[in-house]
Amino acid sequence: MEKKIAVIGGTGIDVEGEAVSIDTPYGRVEPKATKLGGEEVLFIPRHGEDHLPPHRVNYRALLWAAKKWGAVRVVSTNTVGTMSWHTVGSFVVPDDFVEFTKSRPQTFFEEVAVHVDLTSPYCPETRRALIEGAKVAGAEVHQGVYVCTEGPHLESPAQIKMLRRFGDVVGMTGYPEVALARELELCYASICIVTNPAAGMRKDAMAATEIVDQMAKSVDILLEIIKAAISRMAEERRCRCSSALAEAKL
Ligand code: HPA
């Protein structure tokens, strides 16, 4: 058995690889086939060549492409603002999420009622590998709740005051990926890079360029974490992700 893994790369991460083109019912995806941590990896740049804004990313196509290529596990990278005073440059591996998105297709099942269980929304095995990988890479790593906003604007201080009651970090790209992965019975976990304190949790105004600037500083260790995590992922899946649809259809 092979460990075929897809990495959905967010802002500020790219890898060398062979360009591939994967057709899906939702459109074509143009990822790269590469090797990371000694394993075959499909690297899917979330925002594509034109850097689509988070609300326009074709999340269904990305996950479908990962599955069609043969991936069983998906590692996602997401930049986040901290609502919990994490150190900028530290990492968070979410164990749960809340979402406040507005306009994104959220399911592969538009015609039938399919309700996948999200009691453990992120794959526990894949999360564990990422946390261990982060420790091996010498990174500061935390767990916590990811809050997904619609964007594309950054949040207002009052929004952050409200969202802090719901979670620890805020980003715009973690949902609906997490739920779509479950619908395809893929193991899915995210490694979030803390690029800034969220709006209002700082004296000064926020600039989107801070996110890119911090990512430039964090990308090397992020890649180290991903490689170390991949080399720790078991071939056999003992989690429940692979049978997510078994009791989900009405
Ligand atoms: N808010 C939303 N998304 C983000 C942030 C933020 O502060 N930082 C990085 N992505």
pLDDT in tens, 23-61: 999 999 999 999 999 999 999 999 998 899 999 999 999
Domain residues for the domain of 205 are 5-243
**Residue that wins the pLDDT comparison between 201 and 1:** 201
pTM of the model: 0.97
| Residue 136 CA to ligand 1 centre (angstroms) | 26
Would you place residue 234 in the very low, low, confident or very high pLDDT band (cuts 50, 70, 90)?
confident
Residues, the chain:
250
Q: How far apart are CA 236 and CA 250, in angstroms?
A: 29
Query: CB within 6 Å of ligand 1 — which residues?
Result: 79-81, 149, 154-155, 170-172, 195-196, 198, 211
In a domain? residue 77: yes
Considering only CA atoms, which residue is closest to atom 9 of ligand 1?
80
What is the number of the ligand 1 atom nearest to the C-alpha of 78? 10
In a domain? residue 248: no
Which residue is it, tokens 């009405």?
A: 250
Q: How far apart are CA 116 and CA 2, in angstroms?
A: 26
In a domain? residue 250: no
- pLDDT at residue 94 in the model: 98
| Residue 235 CA to ligand 1 centre (angstroms) | 34
E strand intervals along the chain: 5-9, 18-19, 22-24, 27-29, 32-36, 39-45, 73-82, 91-100, 141-149, 169-171, 187-197
In a domain? residue 249: no
In a domain? residue 54: yes
Considering only CA atoms, which residue is closest to atom 7 of ligand 1?
81
What is the number of the ligand 1 atom nearest to the C-alpha of 173? 3
Secondary structure (3-state) at 59: helix
State the average pLDDT over residues 108-137: 97
E strand intervals along 31-159: 32-36, 39-45, 73-82, 91-100, 141-149
DSSP secondary structure code for residue 235 in this structure: S
In a domain? residue 17: yes
State the average pLDDT over residues 116-131: 98
Q: To the nearest whole number, what is the mean pLDDT of the chain?
A: 96
Q: How far apart are CA 175 and CA 178, in angstroms?
A: 6
Considering only CA atoms, which residue is closest to atom 10 of ligand 1?
80
Q: Which amino acid is at 207?
A: A
Distances in whole angstroms, Cα of residue 184 to Cα of each of 44, 53, 140, 170: 17, 24, 31, 25
* CA 80 and chain centroid, separation: 11
State the average pLDDT over residues 107-133: 97
In a domain? residue 168: yes
- pLDDT at residue 49 in the model: 87
What is the number of the ligand 1 atom nearest to the C-alpha of 149? 2
| Residue 43 CA to ligand 1 centre (angstroms) | 22
| Residue 171 CA to ligand 1 centre (angstroms) | 5
* CA 156 and chain centroid, separation: 23
Neighbours of 235 (CB within 10 A): 9
CATH of the domain at 69: 3.40.50.1580
| Residue 132 CA to ligand 1 centre (angstroms) | 25
Model confidence pLDDT, tens digit, residues 131-190: 999 999 999 999 999 999 999 999 999 999 999 999 999 999 999 999 999 999 999 999
Total number of domains constituting the chain: 1
In a domain? residue 204: yes
Which residue is it, tokens 């949902």?
A: 175
What is the number of the ligand 1 atom nearest to the C-alpha of 172? 3
| Residue 197 CA to ligand 1 centre (angstroms) | 8
- pLDDT reading at 1 higher than 70: no
The answer to whether the beta carbons of residues 79 and 91 sit under 8 Å apart is no
State the average pLDDT over residues 63-87: 98
Residue closest to 134 by CA, chosen among 221, 14, 12: 221
